[in-house]
Amino acid sequence: MLSLLWLLVVGLIAGFLARALVPGKDRMSLIATLLLGVSGSVVGGLVLGLLFGGFRDRGFSPAGIIGSVIGAVIVLLVYNRFSDRRAADSGTRRGVA
């Protein structure tokens, strides 16, 4: 139960930091920011595991927070890329350039 609470707290912090680091407007609710941070934590854990070897559980550490922020930035950049492309595609279909 406590680890789930830590995941949510770290996810929320990582989501807010990622939104602050990535330029541009992000119209996200608090829940979307939380989901961004939690998914960033998973992506960051995978990336750091691939870079430094092993996927063993290292527990809560500052490196986990940094990895979560890096992962959240990656997720946010990918999200912005695909949401911008989708908006551009829907605008050209309606005849709006």
Domain ranges for the chain: 1-85
Give pTM, 2 decimals.
Answer: 0.76
Whether 7 has a pLDDT exceeding 60, the answer reads yes
Q: Tokens representing 22?
A: 């990535």
76's enclosing H/E stretch is: helix 62-93
Whether 50 has a pLDDT exceeding 80, the answer reads no
Whether 57 has a pLDDT exceeding 80, the answer reads no
